[in-house]
Amino acid sequence: MPKCKSVISIGLHIHQGAADVWGDYDDRHKTNTPYLFYGYGLTNLESSRIVNRVAKLLEYQGYQSLCFLPTWLTSMTKYMDESLIEGKLRAEFSHRHAAVAAGIAEFGWNGLALTPEFGAMQRFNSILTSAELEPTPLYSGPLLCRKQKCGSTCVKICPTQAISAGEKQTVQIGERTFEYAAHDNVRCTYAIHGMVKGSGGRSDIKIPDGPGSFIHYATAQSSGEMHYYDKSMLENCFGIICGDFCGRCLHKCPSRKLAKKDLEQYDFTLRFSVMNTAW
């Protein structure tokens, strides 16, 4: 989109109860169904409706606009061939990076965009537009990810070991350099689809050692190794209504709790007034 001058980022909060009650199917006191819909599917649908309506409003004012899907394999369709060959999954647009660039969030070691309001408990969507809007500054409040204090919880609890303990990725946004863990997207996808033990599903597929193989993942999903209930849920949710079994790195991230004391001194009023000015 050569005429793009601004990107509008929105975040929708996921209520904490959906994370607190999340658990494996055989735990009588836990359930992952609230997160499947309210924490994932409905949040994606709501954010899509919002960006769709805002994009139209911008076009009615004479500005070109463009939106990408919030998640799921449909956002990766363009790169499926490369995914098969390279064993890497990628989408057409990163809403997490847009949220950090827009000043809403900063990256945690888990690769999620963390906010001072809700920690990891939100999902993001974006609108690209030719409208030249006043940019908001990068987040400059208290540090949100404190992996030394939590002992890298996200690394320990990932059921597929998709989050690296030491290998990192870096990205330059403005004058700041952000760091977060190297992430194996293919291994992560096994957990998202409930294909491994500890991810909320009934399946217990063994992932080969080493980097995730998209060919193995696709074969395992179609060969009958997945439990019938898990596979049926995925096939009947249309890929966006619900479908993220796992999300443990999001549910268990203690960033908001660990930063709570410092955040009590943080001026949230200024943060929102700046955002409103940009609008």
Residue 1 located in a structural domain:
no
Domain of residue 71, residue span: 6-274
Angle, alpha carbons 88-89-94 (nearest 5°): 130
| Angle at 21 (CA atoms; ends 20, 25), nearest 5 degrees | 140
Q: pLDDT of 70-128, one tens digit each?
A: 876 667 778 777 776 777 778 889 999 999 999 999 999 999 999 999 999 999 999 99
Please tell me the total count of domains within the chain.
1
Q: How would DSSP label each residue in 4-15?
A: --EEEEEEEEPP
pLDDT at residue 239, rounded to an integer: 54
14 inside domain: yes
Lookup: tokens for 227: 């439990």
* Under 8 Å between Cβ of 102 and 174: no
Q: Does 220 reside within a domain?
A: yes
Q: Which amino acid does the sequence have at 242?
A: C
Q: What is the DSSP letter of 130?
A: S
Residue 113 counted as domain residue: yes
- Please report whether residue 175 resides in a domain: yes
**Cα dihedral sign for 228, 230, 235, 236?**
positive
- Please tell me the distance from the alpha carbon of residue 249 to that of residue 234, in angstroms, as a whole number: 21
Summarised one tens digit per residue, pLDDT across range 182-230 is 999 899 999 998 999 999 999 999 999 999 998 898 898 887 888 988 8
pLDDT of residue 37: 87
Model pTM score:
0.92
